[in-house]
Amino acid sequence: MSTILLVDDEVDSLWLFKLVLEERGHHVMVAENGSAALEKASRFIPDLIVTDWNMPGTDGVELCQRLKCYPALAQIPIVMASGQTPPMEKSVLWNVFIQKPVELDTLESAIDSLLLQRLPAPERGAHVPAPPAARWQPVPWKLWG
């Protein structure tokens, strides 16, 4: 399934979310701060990141800003969780904001939605146009004789 990076300095929350997401078939990596998360993200390139906002050292907002600096990491969808209301000017850094305490159904729904958007078009059921005709086409038999 998908690889998800969970980032939170609250170890109990981190491991609860890890267990729930692994039960749903995801491969889950954990990091207890933004610096460790950036290192893991650059090494393993997860399909999605769920991060807490308030952490010592590199917080969730700074993590998002740093991720956007690297082309390989800039397109990873991010779920931001916090007990605080985020400033509007920062909301472009993440895809979904979830108010803490996080309800598992809300988190699972956000993750499913973001991961579905990352699937290639044929897997989502969208119409894919036929490839253009080749330059070298067979000549119809009627033209030969």
Distances (CA, A) of 100 to 53, 83, 94: 10, 5, 16
pLDDT of 47 higher than 90:
yes
pLDDT band, very low/low/confident/very high, at 103 (cuts 50, 70, 90): very high
Three-state DSSP state, 5? strand
* Residue 9: partners with Cβ closer than 8 Å, 6 or more residues away: 32, 33, 52, 54, 55, 56
pLDDT of 128 higher than 80:
no
Model confidence pLDDT, tens digit, residues 7-21: 999 999 999 999 999
Q: Which of 1-15, 39-53, 115-129 has the lowest mean pLDDT?
A: 115-129
Task: Give percent of the chain with pLDDT exceeding 90.
Answer: 70
Q: Pick 54 or 91 by higher pLDDT.
A: 54
pLDDT band, very low/low/confident/very high, at 45 (cuts 50, 70, 90): very high
Q: Which residue's entry shows tokens 């605080």?
A: 84
As a whole number, mean pLDDT of residues 112-134 equals 66
Structure token digits, residue 110: 């956000």
pLDDT of 36 higher than 90:
yes
Taken in order of first residue, the domains within the chain and their CATH numbers are 3-122 (3.40.50.2300)
Provide the pairing of β-strand 48-52 with 3-7.
Answer: parallel
pLDDT reported for residue 126? 52
**The whole model's pTM is what?**
0.80
pLDDT reported for residue 125? 53
